[in-house]
Each structure stands twice: as C-alpha cells, then as structure tokens.
Structure 1
Amino acid sequence: MEEPSHAHSPAGHPDPAGWELWRLPSRAVALVLVVEATAVASVATHLGSPAGAAFTGEALALAAFLTFLSVVHTELATGIERIRRRAAETSYFDLSSVWTFAAALLLPPALAAGVIAAVYLHLWQRVWRPAKVPLHRHLYTTATVVLAAGAAHAAVEQAGGLPATPDDVAGVAGIAVAVLLYVVVNTLLVAGVIALTNEWPGVRALVGRLDDNALEVATLCMGGLAAVVIGSTPWLVALVLPPILVLHRAVLVRQLEEVASTDAKTGLLNSAAWQAEAGRAVRRAQRANGAAAVLILDLDHFKLVNDAHGHLAGDEVLAAVAAQLRAGVRENDFVGRFGGEEFVVLLADLPSGATGRAEVRAVAERLRRLVAELDVPVCTPDGNLTISGLTVSVGGASVPADGTTLDHVLKVADASLYAAKRGGRNLVRIAGPVQIPEPRTAAG
C-alpha cells in the first residue's frame, strides 16, 4: 500500500481508499494480498511453534549484528542505490540480499523475518522512499523476501545445517539448494504480479535479464559465505563489505551505460546504440550464412500533429508508436529511433531466401497496421483528446540479398522508404536484390 501523501481522511490519517494498490487490476491486487497474508501467517506459525516461542540471547545478538551490517552497507551505498533505483526498469535486484540470505541460513525463520523487516524498513527510508517508489511495492517485496528466506532456511535445515567441516558435502549442497530456492521463489512471486498487472510484457520484463539474475545469485553466494564465516569467526564478515560496494559501482556503471543508449522520449535504442546492436546482428548472420533485415519507418505528416496539438502531444504520439513497434516484433529484434519521426527495426536470425523475404514483408505490414489502428489519448491546451488516423511508410532491405554491410542495407531500405512515400504513403516497399550498387573498393 502506497505511502498516502495524496489521500487523507478528514482527521489527517491515511485514507486506505487512496492507496495506489487499488489502481492495479483486481487479479494483481488479489495476488499481492495473498502473498502478504501468507508471509504474515508463516511468521505467526513459526512464532507459535516450540522452536519459535523464545529466542536465545545469542540468536537475538546475531540478528542485531546482521541488521547493523545491513545498515552500514546501505549507508555506504545510499547514493549509488538511489541512482540504480531510478535507472532500473521493471526488474530491480537489491544487493541487501547478502544480509537477508545470511539471516535465513543462520536464524530461526521468525527471527530472520524480523531482520528482513528491519533491513527493508531502513531501505525504504534511505533508498526507496526518496526514489518515490510506491509503498505497496515495498511491502510486497518484503513479503516475497520473507517467503524466499523461509524456503532457503528449510533447505539448509533439511541438509543438517551449515557445513561444519571441510568434507560436509551435504551442508554445501544445502546452501546451493537454498540459493536456488531463494531466487526461484522471489522471482516467481515478483514475475506473477508483473504479469497480472500488465498485458504480456515479455520474459525479460518478468524475470529480468540473465546478467541481473547472475548478479542476484552472486550476491546470495556472498551471503552464504558470510553465514559460514559468522559461524566461525564473526568479525571476518566485515570483509564482505568492500567487494559488495565495488559490485554496487560496477552495476551502476552498466545501468548508466544503458541510460546513455536509450532514447529519452520513446524508451527505444537511440541511433548509435541501435547501429551497434544491428551491426553485430548483421555480422552474426553473415557468419552463420543466415539472413537479417532492416526496416525504416517514417510517420506520415507528423508535422501536422505537432502544429495542431503541440510538441508535448507529439512526444506522446512518438512514445505510443514506439510501444506498438516494440510489441510487434520478437524479443531478439532491435527497435530504435533514428531521429525526428523516423524509426528503424533490425529483424535478426531470419531464414534465407524467399522465406526470409516473405517474413520481412509480413512483419512490415503488421507494423504498418499496428500504427494505423493506434488511438493515442493526449492532453492539449484545448483539453483531452484522442489522436487517431496515424500512418507510417515502411521501407525494407535484407542481408545478404540487398547488401553485405549494415550501411549499404540501410541505404537500400531508405530508398525503399522513399518509394513508399512517392507511392502515396501508408505503404510497405521491400527492396528487390541489390537496387543500389555496392560501394566499390579502392582495388575495384
């Protein structure tokens, strides 16, 4: 439930009716409430068990120690984490799991849940709240971590506890299974609510990219090592802090590189980033004796939109068209904004010959129809209105049929685009083989 800064009751208390959670689809709200209730019930069940009825002084001291380490970690990395949170897309992997995972392995589940609650309360105050993350997302994330930690604890307990000797294979296997369960439970619960909130957003939006998940696994492995170290020489766990902070900075650099490669108005790749990705895809197709294709799309009469409704409305149209283009191609295809009202698509890993050329035409026609069917609600000085009747002209060319380099195929596709415009616009024109001569080398 979101921090209620915009909705209050007459007495000044938060008004539950104004929580942002209720704006989600009902099926997503149901999952959120079920997961949170399950986390609370799990903690209550453990507290009611004989093992959870009372905690030893040693266990309480260990919980306080892990919480302290997490606070120190967060304070040292606060600036980096705020930038990471702003730069992240749907998926965001929190490196504080090094401490929540260690708590899951070392402490009874109810006490580990207390550490998780304290860690996430501090993260909310120092990172998530300043980044304007909705409170209901914070609470849901906390609940998923509590459940993931419970699964991890059960795995280690089943294996007989943490490894006590160098030849304790069962203990090592228990930690490995605990890492796997923690990742799977947390990922599935987060992916579930994303899937129920939006139309199918794609696998990457649901579970994150491979390197994001590798980062999470690496962080959990450090948490497992920290738990083993705490069991023998507790103060050596301070050695975990330097590498985890370096990892923060490495991840931040990667995220900033991604921001620098993204067009701000549309969220697509910018021209330079698209050409880099497309160039790699073309070279890969050539090595594999396969095919790839380039589509250039130009919004017809887009200047009329800006003149009639203003540039802000025009930006909303560009963003809506970009979303349609991204939704109309495969996940391994690259969509970019070339500038102004011009977009470009690289269709990777196509079949060669006539089959590939037919697929290029089919994709181009699909994208043209998606744009033609688009209705874009915009806010203008004249009030709210819907912009429709958009059209796009499309030109396409293939590798290797129409050229052997990305630059050459772009020229062929651009010539095809202008053929579509000369033909009356709202048309698709796919080049025939080699309509523009290849550049001659000095030797030729």
Structure 2
Amino acid sequence: MSAVTRWPVWSLPGRLLGAVLAVEALALLLVVLDVVTTVRAGFSAGAVADVALTLALLTGAGFLTAELAVHVERLRSRVVHGGASTADVDPSPVWAFAAALLLPPLAACAVVTAMFCFVRYRVRRRSGRSPLFKAAFTFATLILAVHAAAAMAEFSGLGAAQPLRSGIGVLVVASAVLGFVVVNTCLVVGVVVMSSDKTVRDMVGQSGDEVLLEVAALCVGGLIAMAVITQPWLVLFAVPPLLVLHRAVLVRQLEKQAATDSKTGLLTAGAWHDRATLRIDHARDAGSSAAVLVVDLDHFKQVNDRHGHIAGDYVLQAVAALLREDVRGADLVGRFGGEEFVLLLPQAGDRYAYSELQVVAERIRRRVAELQVAVPTPDGTLTIDGLSVSVGGAVFPHDGNHLLDVLAVADTALYAAKRAGRNAVRMGRHDTVAIRPDEIVDPPVVRQIEDATPPA
C-alpha cells in the first residue's frame, strides 16, 4: 500500500487528478461493458476467425509502421528535446481508427492495447518512457476516441449491414473521423489547460496544425478500412504514406527549430523579419496599421563581463519571457541578436497612435525595471536586478510604407532613448547622433544572496 501512495500521479493538483482518474475510469467502464456485451451476444467460429484475422492484420501492419518509423521519430525527438533521445513513436491512432470501423468495440480495444504495449515496451525500451500515469491517460483517451468513432460510424451508417461497402461509406468515415478528433482533442486540451496557465484559446491556436495532421492520419485509417473489406493485403500500401507523415512532422519541427532562437525561445531575426513583412503586407492590403518596438537591454555587456555569459543568458531568458507575457497572441516577438529584441504589433481596428504605443512601451520598461533574475551558482543564488531597457517605436504606415522603413525609424527612436540617459522610451523619427561616453549611466545593481543550503 505504501508503494501505491508514492505513485507520481498523486502529486497532481486535486482538480487535475480528478479529471485524469475520471477519464481512466470511464475508459475502463466501457471496456467492461464491451466484454459483457460480447459474452451475452455470443459468437460463431466463423465470426471469431474473421475478427481474429482482421485484428492480426491491423496490429501486424501497425507494428511494422512503428519499427520502420522509429529512426525518424528518434531524430525528431532529438530536434524537439535538444539532443535528448526520447522517442515519440505512436502510430496507434491510425490503426485503432481502422479497427473502430471494422471490428467490434472489444476487438478494437485489443488493437489499441497491442499497439500501446508494442510502442511502449519495444520501440521505446532504449530511449526512455513517459511516466506511467501519463501513458495510462493517453491510452484511456484513445479507448474513448475509438468508442466515439465507432458510435458515430454506427449512427451515420443508418442501420446498413455493411455501411463501408455502400454509397454512404464516405459519410460513415467522415463522421467517425469527427467523433475521434473531437473526443481526443477535447480531452487532451482540457488536461493541458488544467495543468498549465494556457487558455483554451491558446491551445486551439497552437494545436491547429496538429489537428490537421491527426485528421490526415485518420483519413489514411479510413482508407485502410476500405482496403481491408475489398482486399486485405492492400493494407501494406498504407505503410509508406504513414512514414511520409512521420517525415512531414520532422520537417515541420525542423522548420520551427530553425525559426526559434535557442536561448530565448523567441523568433530569430530572419524568421521575425519574414513574418513581420507578411503582416505589414496584409495591413497594407487591408488598410489597417501596425507598430514596431525595438527593445535594447542597457549595459548588458557589463552583466556578461561581471558574472559570465551564463548569468547573461538567464537575464535574456527572463526578458524574453516578460515580452511574451506582455503582448497579445497575434503580436510577433523576436530576438534581433545580442541584447536587442523587436516586436510587431498589428492593429485590426483604428490606426495606431504614438500615445497608444507609448503605453505599451512604458509598461515593458517598468516591468523590466522590476525584474529580479535568480541565477544559480556554486556559491549560492545570484540575483540580478536594477535592469533597464531603452525602447524605440514607430508606426506603419505613418513612419514608412515598408517594414525596413518602419524599423529604421524605430531604430532612430531607440538611439534617442539611449541619448536621453537610457531606461527611456522614444517614439517616431529622430536625428541619428552618436552616443557620447559621458552619457553612460550607472550599471545595474547586482547583489549576492546566499542560498539557504549552500554547497559544502
């Protein structure tokens, strides 16, 4: 009993723990009902043979897909996790969806179970596994999604004995895809929202591509089901498209990594410029406006010189996190290199005014001034505070018709803020005058706080 009480699942917050256990209990209840229904209905030897053959065909093809995709997924995992070897191979939904269309619910659950065990204990045995309670929740959501797909397929089949062979086969598959995606997405999004500070709106915006990818994979599952009822061995031709989907995920994540600054998680300068140019072009076509802020950390070199580049990285990460929190979802935040950041703020309604942009910039400046960045060191915790930023702003189309023109104006405003003594905000076009040495203000305050349990 003491071992049970030490399971990591009990460390979850109460509401989240209740939701996870409820999903798993519901999945278990459905499986029990499937067993009872199957036993009561009885079965013939011929039906058992047909079900067993289809089950073996689907699970075997699923095992083959997982084995062939493992090297791609391990490479993808190294990209995502910065060199970690954790694999994330899970072709289970495709084959589980095909099983939901072809097999009784209990047999479809058997396919889900077989794929789950194969992926977890065969494919991932050398690359690490997720905690068991997370895997159990994923397994439960898949069981529920399979039941939802089967229910939608039966409902849309209009009582036909073999709906996939009839003229409404496309409707049946589409309805099953809808049921599977809705249940699976809602459960996953709900748990993420409950376990983090993300909202449903954030998750929907971030998971749009993932949902499209899932729909594409399930469509392949529908084609697999169609192949099985016509010529079972055509299933093998579904394996190459699934491998291509795995590679598509890898390519997408490589693109995302290339567009992300490794230290701050913001857009790189090139990625920001490309996306901001598109936003400016859209604003020009729509007759709307946008604004640009250039944010520069004052005296950042002194932080690196005094405390090393690791401490400087902590400061950059803290400022980047602050900027992400302080802007809207549609705004673009990037790192322009060194200690300089840049923001594009599109405006859908009235045109941006300097006064409105000044408020945003002043809020950023004040929040940076309040930052206290804790840096772990062998001698205790180093806290860096007294930071400041200089901010320059410009507005499209008032300050230019193209992104580079607006950036150039914002850059002149940034240097005007630095000439004013730093820790300041300036808007619009200013004369470009070099900063004199006597204009440098005092460096940021850095203090050492002893850790409560310093190393021996």
Class of the TM-score when normalised by the shorter of the 2 chains: 0.7 to 0.9
Equivalent residue number for residue 116 of structure 1: 112
Within the alignment, does 1:259 sit opposite 2:257 as a pair?
Answer: yes
Deviation string 1:320-356 (CA, Å, 9 cap, x unpaired) is 2212211211212111111112111111235454x44
Is the 1:102–1:224 Cα contact (8 Å) retained in structure 2?
yes
Shift of 1:201: 5.2
Instruction: Call closer, same or farther: CA 1:136–1:339 in 2, change over 3 Å.
Output: farther
Deviation string 1:29-56 (CA, Å, 9 cap, x unpaired) is 2222221222112211221224577672
- SS class of match (1:49): helix
Instruction: Call closer, same or farther: CA 1:50–1:41 in 2, change over 3 Å.
Output: same
Instruction: Call closer, same or farther: CA 1:197–1:380 in 2, change over 3 Å.
Output: same
Unaligned runs of 5+ in 2: 82-87, 434-456
Between the aligned residues of both structures, percent identity stands at 48
Shift of 1:258: 1.2
- SS class of match (2:395): strand
Provide the rounded CA distance (Å) in 2 between the counterparts of 1:118 and 1:15. Answer: 27
Equivalent residue number for residue 421 of structure 2: 424
Map 1:18-97 onto structure 2 (within 5 A).
19-50=7-38, 56-87=48-79, 95-97=91-93
**What TM-score results when the alignment is normalised by the length of structure 2?**
0.83
Q: 1:149 aligns with which of 146, 153, 161?
A: 146
Deviation string 1:270-295 (CA, Å, 9 cap, x unpaired) is 11111111111112212222211111
What letter corresponds to residue 114 of structure 2 in structure 1?
A
Equivalent residue number for residue 297 of structure 2: 299
- SS class of match (1:396): strand
- SS class of match (2:408): helix
Provide the rounded CA distance (Å) in 1 between the counterparts of 2:91 and 2:392. Answer: 45
- SS class of match (1:411): helix
Shift of 1:84: 3.0
Provide the rounded CA distance (Å) in 2 between the counterparts of 1:382 and 1:308. Answer: 15
Is the 1:298–1:393 Cα contact (8 Å) retained in structure 2?
yes
Provide the rounded CA distance (Å) in 1 between the counterparts of 2:95 and 2:235. Answer: 10
**What TM-score results when the alignment is normalised by the length of structure 1?**
0.85
Equivalent residue number for residue 228 of structure 1: 226
Is the 2:89–2:119 Cα contact (8 Å) retained in structure 1?
no
Provide the rounded CA distance (Å) in 2 between the counterparts of 1:385 and 1:202. Answer: 37
Equivalent residue number for residue 173 of structure 1: 171
- SS class of match (1:374): coil
Provide the rounded CA distance (Å) in 1 between the counterparts of 2:17 and 2:377. Answer: 33
Report how many residues are paired. Answer: 421
What letter corresponds to residue 52 of structure 2 in structure 1?
L
Provide the rounded CA distance (Å) in 2 between the counterparts of 1:344 and 1:123. Answer: 43
Question: Superposition RMSD on alpha carbons, in Å?
Answer: 3.0
Is the 2:164–2:170 Cα contact (8 Å) retained in structure 1?
no
Equivalent residue number for residue 217 of structure 1: 215
- SS class of match (2:194): helix
Is the 1:152–1:181 Cα contact (8 Å) retained in structure 2?
yes
Deviation string 1:73-104 (CA, Å, 9 cap, x unpaired) is 01111111223345459xx9955422111112
- SS class of match (2:401): coil
Equivalent residue number for residue 398 of structure 2: 401
What letter corresponds to residue 387 of structure 2 in structure 1?
L
- SS class of match (2:390): strand
Instruction: Call closer, same or farther: CA 1:375–1:106 in 2, change over 3 Å.
Output: farther
Map 1:181-200 onto structure 2 (within 5 A).
181-200=179-198
Instruction: Call closer, same or farther: CA 1:425–1:326 in 2, change over 3 Å.
Output: same
Instruction: Call closer, same or farther: CA 1:18–1:345 in 2, change over 3 Å.
Output: farther
Provide the rounded CA distance (Å) in 2 between the counterparts of 1:241 and 1:434. Answer: 63
What letter corresponds to residue 59 of structure 1 in structure 2?
V
Provide the rounded CA distance (Å) in 1 between the counterparts of 2:300 and 2:216. Answer: 48
Provide the rounded CA distance (Å) in 1 between the counterparts of 2:89 and 2:124. Answer: 13
Is the 1:296–1:413 Cα contact (8 Å) retained in structure 2?
yes
Deviates more, 1:154-163 or 1:100-109: 154-163
Within the alignment, does 1:381 sit opposite 2:378 as a pair?
Answer: yes
Deviates more, 1:305-314 or 1:239-248: 305-314
